[in-house]
Amino acid sequence: MQNFTYSQPTLLTLSFGEMTKIKYLYSVIVLLFFTMIILSNCSVILIIVLHKSLQEPMYIFISALCVNGLYGSVIFFPSLFINLLSQIQTISYIGCIIQIFGIHTYIGCEVTVLAIMAFDRYVCICNPLRYNSIMTYDLMFRLITVAWLYNVVLISILVILTIRLPLCDSVIQKIYCDNWSVVKLSCIDTTVNNIYGLLITSVMGLLPGCIYLSYFQILRVCMKSSKDFRAKAVYTCTPHMVLLNYFSSNILTEILLLRFPVNMPYEVQIIVSLQSYVIAPLLNPLIYGLKLKEIRVKILEKLGLKKKTLHTDGEI
């Protein structure tokens, strides 16, 4: 039997489709979104870091969410912007692998931090007398550290399994690199990659389930409590549920489109696939910065638009 050797391509071609016809418009939009994400997330992080009154578990977890949004955006936007302005839309093989690692760790950390925030709200509302003894600074930073290390380990294994694959094609049917799009280019059997990918997806899928379970328990407690207590619980939990529902639905749609291709215009598929990397990092600071009064007041004070600090009567 004749042996074939495959050389890994140094450049991979991305599929931008009709976007290149109005690439300057898209590049301006991308730059605008990137700037908004950087400014809004950095503002929330700085406000929380600079004010000791905000250095509580809920706000520190919000800052962790914003840091993750910055991380995902830095991995995603520069490559997209450069390719929109280029004559040929390509990415180096090494750059593609780095983007795969960055994008998948961003998604994993987003879901994990949201799960930690749900745990924080569960303890605060269902066990208020024990909250300070349970949610200590030590536990808080351990949870954030584990959220990152846990995803780094899982995605590192995923990337290692992908790197070992020889590629027969160099055209990725997306405008950025994700793991499954690269795996599909392989010349050899990818069963191990498929099984591990489905395993990670299943593990990540358990986290939203745990989050919804915790909020079900919160709802049970609220139903037995006073009207004022229910209002406060809804006030602090609503932003979290909005983000969770939005992010989870987009990731689920993306997974379904990758695994089970449908007859959908390519431009629509691009818009759907961009939701988690464009809108989600922008929603985090906007929802929390505008919804939670403590953060909103501090931002207005820094901008010189509010002279007196308001009390946050609507928060728990």
Residue 234's domain is classified under what CATH number?
1.20.1070.10
**What pLDDT was estimated at residue 16?**
85
Q: What is the mean pLDDT of the chain?
A: 83
Give a yes or no: residue 316 inside a domain.
no
Mean pLDDT value of segment 128-150? 90
Give a yes or no: residue 1 inside a domain.
no
Give a yes or no: residue 262 inside a domain.
yes
Residue 312, pLDDT > 60, answer: no
Confidence of residue 289 (pLDDT cuts 50, 70, 90): low
Give a yes or no: residue 310 inside a domain.
no
Mean pLDDT value of segment 78-86? 90
Contact 29, 277 (CB under 8 A): no
Give a yes or no: residue 5 inside a domain.
no
- Return the half-sphere exposure (C-beta side, CA atoms, 13 A cut-off) of residue 230: 9
Contact 21, 262 (CB under 8 A): no
How many domains is the chain built from? 1
Contact 258, 250 (CB under 8 A): no
* Between residues 296 and 190, the one the model is more confident about: 190
Percent of the chain with pLDDT strictly greater than 70: 89
pTM across the whole model? 0.85
Give a yes or no: residue 73 inside a domain.
yes
Give a yes or no: residue 264 inside a domain.
yes
Question: What is the residue range of 21's domain?
Answer: 12-302
- What is the rounded distance in angstroms from the CA atom of residue 231 to the CA atom of residue 161? 49
- What is the rounded distance in angstroms from the CA atom of residue 68 to the CA atom of residue 115? 14
Give a yes or no: residue 312 inside a domain.
no
